[in-house]
Chain A
Amino acid sequence: MTVVINPTGEVPATPVEPLPTTTVGRVRKGLTNPVASAIALVIGVAWTIPTAGLLVQSFRSKTGQDTKGWWTFSDLTLDNYRRVTSGTGNVLPYVVNSIAIVIPAAIIPIVVAALASYALVWIDFRGRDWIYVAIFALQVVPLQVAVVPLLRFVVNGAHLGSMTVIPKLGLAGTVGAVWLAHACFALPLAVFLMHNFMSEIPRDLLEAARLDGAGHGQIFRQIMLPLLRPALAAFGIFQFLWVWNDLFVGLVMSGSNNAISPITVKIAGLVGSTAGQGGEVVPAAAFLSIVIPLAVFIALQRFFVRGLLAGSVKG
């Protein structure tokens, strides 16, 4: 437990770390054996080959794909990529949709969660522990339960009987519907992460500011936000990957409207519709869809791992 829910995000070891030179390292080394090395090799290779296969296949012509395996590296061409980035088969508009969805979907919940956590950690009021536990427990709600009613709300507004509680927001048929859903669903985990990070900030800092006459709003803006930067980065990447890779919310909230469908919805549609012919472009389209999260992931893996170890509870 001490490791997984590790509030400071102090990672015992990031994936990129120097080789062991300590006694500890040598002792451990002594305990590993050839069997372990073999296991590592098999798993490492088995985990890499599928993605490599897709990359190679995406550069091969239809004839090549139809007659030989990708490992022959035959019939290489850029044609597939040309077809998925221009003309009728262009998937780039869907990449744009994904970007337009992911920006608000990552920023909104983290700011809202930071505000909520501030109250839950630094302001004394009755029932605050209960509110925190309740928000954490809301992770129990599967997207399947929440997404259809949320779509109805976006389309119709909220009503109690015939009384309109909240009018419709005009977000129906826009990417707003998709990111609003993501922003809501991300909150329990975001509050949990921010709460953990915030609890680690020394109380003296806050009390000194209070004595100087600063209000809570001011303290949040000027002291908390700068200190929370690592937490914001960790959750930002987490949420970016989650939203970019999501299919379910995108599928339901966009309601098959191509104008607002994220790239995952497009790729899933391509897989289904090109079973007969035209399937040769699918590897290229799929690779385009995974290259952005992959790049973000590789560049910012350190932050991501920190977020993962601080609260590996997203479901």
Chain B
Amino acid sequence: MHWLYTLAHSQSTGGKLLFAVVMVILFLAVIGALLVLIDRTPRRGREKYQAFLFLLPALILLGLGLIGPIIRTAVSAMTSAEVTKKLCVPRPGHSCLVDKGGKWNNFDNFRWAFTDNDAQYALLHTLLWTLVAPIIATAVGLAYAYAIDKVRGEGFAKALVFLPTAISFVGAAVIWGLMYQQPSQNGASGLVNVVLHWVGLGPLNFPTVGGWRLTLMMIVVMIWIQAGFATVVLSAAIKGVPAEISEAAKIDGATAGQAFRRVVIPSIRPTLIVVLVTISIATLKIFDLVQTFGADKYRGDTLANLMYTTYKQAGLGIAGGKLGEHRSSALAIIIFLLVIPFVAFQVRQMVKQRAAR
């Protein structure tokens, strides 16, 4: 398998792409072999073995990538760093300090997360994000979906708002960095500040304005990205509202606003909640925007970004006595706990959905 190792570490364009293709082919070959094996299982208790083999790849990946790591992170969050000397893996032959972890430290990492100034900011700002972004994104999506429903050019209108869905948060950060650009001495200024100037307001200095203003300005970007998702899903829901109901409302003399509030909203309530929950989960883990804008330098941090910077300070395998990785584990666990109610809701919906079928 030496050639495969060499290929994996190839630096050339062709080598990298070839490695990807070879890995996919190898993977499909393994799956093919597994399917042949499934049909050769012993007759006694056959279905049980077959089910196990069908599930095996998924169980391996889930154990490796999710279940094992949860346990490790939980242990890491509860323990303190314990540094020993060990051979360095990235550079064989060198020895470096390795954090073995393992000493229970009585929730010290969590105590840090709730008392440290930066961590408190991050927690508070994450809550601000989660309170504001999902509601406004959903509201904008709903208003837009309803406004363009059944009008000429609906498909095009929807595509306009849906397009940012395909754009990465990093790309969005560049796009909005340009929109928010501070007025420079040379004369250039972002569109937002130009408009503010027109209406007689002072410039917003992004990102140096810092604090909750900075967070709100980043939330605008999040709304810009997520509203398309809300529009598409809610638009499908609005089209699912039986025509007879709207018709009846109209005959009864309801105005457009009344029909919207009393007929459309109640009919699509379940979908509205699902959209809210989905965006909330994404918002709780907001990282890319904060990282790309460097907002942590201006008191605009979030939990997920603080988790990364704390981890990064420690570095993999070179703990050097720092608590970084253990503290970042504690922050990750806090995000985990915050997400649980939302996902619990989704699981309940899914189970209900299955029972109804």
A152-208 contacts to B (CB < 8 Å): 152-153, 155-156, 158, 168, 170-176, 179-181, 183-185, 187-188, 191-192, 199
- Chain B contact residue count (CB 8 A cutoff): 148
State the total of A-B contacts with C-beta under 8 angstroms. Answer: 444
Q: Does B308 contact A (CB under 8 A)?
A: yes
With A4-B275, A245-B171 given, name 7 new contacts (CB 8 A): A37-B147, A48-B160, A67-B186, A155-B90, A247-B288, A267-B174, A289-B171
Q: Does B78 contact A (CB under 8 A)?
A: no
Main secondary structure of the interface of A (DSSP, over half): helix
Tell me if B157 and A144 are in contact (CB < 8 A). no
Main secondary structure of the interface of B (DSSP, over half): helix
State which of A148, A188, A309 has its C-beta within 8 Å of the C-beta of B329.
Answer: A148
Q: Which residues of A contact B31 (CB under 8 A)?
A: 111-112, 115
Q: Which residues of A contact B23 (CB under 8 A)?
A: 104, 176
A129-156 CB contact bits vs B (8 Å, 1 = yes)?
Answer: 0010101111111111111111111011
B261-276 contacts to A (CB < 8 Å): 268, 270-271, 274-275
Smallest Cβ-Cβ distance to A275: which chain B residue = B294
A87-133 contacts to B (CB < 8 Å): 93, 96-97, 99-101, 103-104, 107-109, 111-113, 115-116, 118-120, 123-125, 128, 131, 133
Q: Which of B112-120, B198-206, B210-218, B333-341 lies on the face that meets chain A?
A: B333-341
Known A25-B150, A252-B308: A217·B288 in contact at CB below 8 Å: no
Tell me if A29 and B151 are in contact (CB < 8 A). yes
Tell me if A2 and B240 are in contact (CB < 8 A). yes
Tell me if A100 and B19 are in contact (CB < 8 A). yes
Tell me if A104 and B27 are in contact (CB < 8 A). yes
In the bound complex, CA of A191 to CA of B350 (Å): 13
State which of B57, B162, B168 has its C-beta within 8 Å of the C-beta of A264.
Answer: B168
Hey, which bits of chain B sit against chain A, CB under 8 A? 5, 8-9, 11, 13, 16-17, 19-21, 23-24, 27-28, 31, 34-39, 47-48, 50-52, 54-55, 57-59, 61-62, 64-70, 72-73, 76, 89-90, 140, 143-144, 146-152, 154-155, 157-171, 173-179, 184, 186-191, 194, 224, 227-229, 232-233, 235-237, 239-240, 243, 246-247, 250, 256, 259-260, 268, 270-271, 274-275, 278, 281-282, 284-285, 287-288, 291-294, 304, 307-308, 311, 316-317, 325, 328-329, 331-333, 335-336, 339-340, 342-344, 346-347, 349-353, 357
Q: Which residues of A contact B68 (CB under 8 A)?
A: 149, 153, 158
State which of A4, A43, A111, A192 has its C-beta within 8 Å of the C-beta of B140.
Answer: A43
Q: Does A226 contact B (CB under 8 A)?
A: no
Q: Does A53 contact B (CB under 8 A)?
A: yes
Tell me if B148 and A40 are in contact (CB < 8 A). yes
Tell me if B246 and A31 are in contact (CB < 8 A). yes
Smallest Cβ-Cβ distance to A258: which chain B residue = B11
